[in-house]
């Protein structure tokens, strides 16, 4: 369990980004962080990573307070994937790129090789381990940033807008990977604008608005209240809109939608 207790943060005096916020994030789930532009989604992830420090309150991972720890301690537990993969790729081969963090974290060579291999296999990049990162496609680059984070064997992975710039095919591959990693026990914190992705994949959603946590709960509960969703600066996912228009039970994933449509037809027949 990742806990933020009474956390306040400001970049400048009198301009608080967060004012006394409290959240609990289950480290087994996919938790989405949403909100308007500039509300502090990325700031929140940086606080968790220890790249920024709260002016008040503390952040705990299980019983360990992490908000006063240096980033490298946190990095052993939490991996971070930047929005733009080019910001974090610098090694000359895919393998070295993935091996960088474990090396810095002082893993033994044996451990390192094991985790790097596992991470590259998981992300489907093992065949490309000798490639130069800069020559990869955008989708591959994004998955390499994930592999680099995974190689440090973290418990939680933070993904900041992981699908931006990717086409629908690459996006599908990436989201499938995220689900697989989560099924294998990795906690995911997903920052996203895309309500379709959020509805389909997130177990929980945390919405930030007006320096506060404006909503924390399941996507289903959130989207069943259309007024509140709009108030929070979010839009309804396409699946929810379609289910409203077709007057069927609220569906979050396309699969669910298809099932409800078929069920509705049978009932009518």
Q: Residue 12 forms beta bridges with which residues?
A: 15
- Closest contact distance (angstroms) between CB of 113 and another protein is 32
Task: Give the x/- contact pattern for another protein in 152-191, rule: CB under 8 A.
Answer: ------------xxxxxxxxx-------------------
Q: Which of 266, 146, 189, 246 is nearest to 28 (CA)?
A: 189
Q: Are 147 and 119 in contact (CB under 8 A)?
A: yes
How many other CB atoms sit within 10 Å of the CB of residue 254?
A: 14
List the one residue from 2, 4, 195, 222 that touches another protein (CB under 8 A). 195
Q: Looking at residues 18 to 37 of the shown chain, list those that interact with another protein (rule: CB under 8 A).
A: 36-37
Site for another protein contains 56 (CB under 8 A): no
What binding mask, one character per residue, do residues 124-143 give for another protein by CB under 8 A, x or -?
A: -------------xxx----
Site track for another protein across 212-251, x = CB under 8 A: ---------------------x-x--xx--x---------
Burial 37-65 (b: 16+ CB within 10 A, else e): eebbbbbbbbbbbbebebeebebebeeee
Q: Does 109 bind another protein (CB under 8 A)?
A: no
Residue of 11, 3, 41 lying closest to 214 (CA atoms): 41
Is residue 17 within a helix (H) or strand (E), and if so which, with residue range? strand 15-25
Beta carbon of residue 126, minimum distance to another protein (angstroms, whole number): 22
CB of 137 to another protein, least distance (A): 6
Identify the residue whose tokens are 């592999």. Answer: 147
Per CB under 8 A, residues contacting another protein are 36-37, 137-139, 164-172, 193-196, 233, 235, 238-239, 242, 254, 257-258, 261-262
């Amino acid at each position: 369990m990742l806990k933020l207790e009474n956390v306040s943060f400001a970049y400048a005096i009198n301009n608080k980004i967060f004012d006394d916020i409290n959240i609990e994030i289950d480290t087994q789930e996919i938790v989405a962080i949403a909100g308007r532009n500039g509300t502090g989604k990325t700031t929140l992830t940086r606080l968790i990573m220890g790249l920024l420090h709260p002016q008040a309150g503390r952040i705990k991972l299980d019983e360990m307070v992490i908000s006063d720890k240096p980033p490298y301690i946190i990095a052993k537990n939490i991996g971070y994937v930047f929005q733009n993969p080019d910001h974090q790729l610098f090694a000359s081969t895919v393998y070295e790129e993935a091996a960088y963090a474990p090396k810095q974290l002082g893993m033994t060579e044996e451990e390192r090789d094991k985790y790097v291999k596992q991470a590259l296999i998981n992300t489907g990049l093992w065949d490309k381990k000798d490639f130069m990162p800069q020559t990869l496609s955008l989708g591959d680059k994004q998955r390499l940033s994930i592999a680099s984070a995974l190689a440090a064997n973290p418990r939680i992975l933070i993904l900041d807008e992981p699908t931006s710039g990717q086409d629908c095919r690459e996006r599908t591959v990436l989201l499938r990977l995220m689900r697989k990693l989560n099924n294998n026990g990795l906690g995911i914190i997903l920052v996203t604008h895309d309500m379709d992705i959020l509805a389909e994949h997130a177990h929980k959603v945390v919405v930030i608005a007006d320096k506060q946590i404006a909503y924390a709960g399941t996507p289903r509960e959130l989207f069943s209240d259309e007024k509140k969703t709009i108030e929070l600066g979010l839009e309804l996912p396409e699946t929810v809109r379609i289910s409203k228009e077709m007057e069927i039970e609220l569906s979050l994933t396309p699969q669910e939608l298809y099932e409800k449509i078929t069920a509705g037809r049978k009932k009518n027949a």
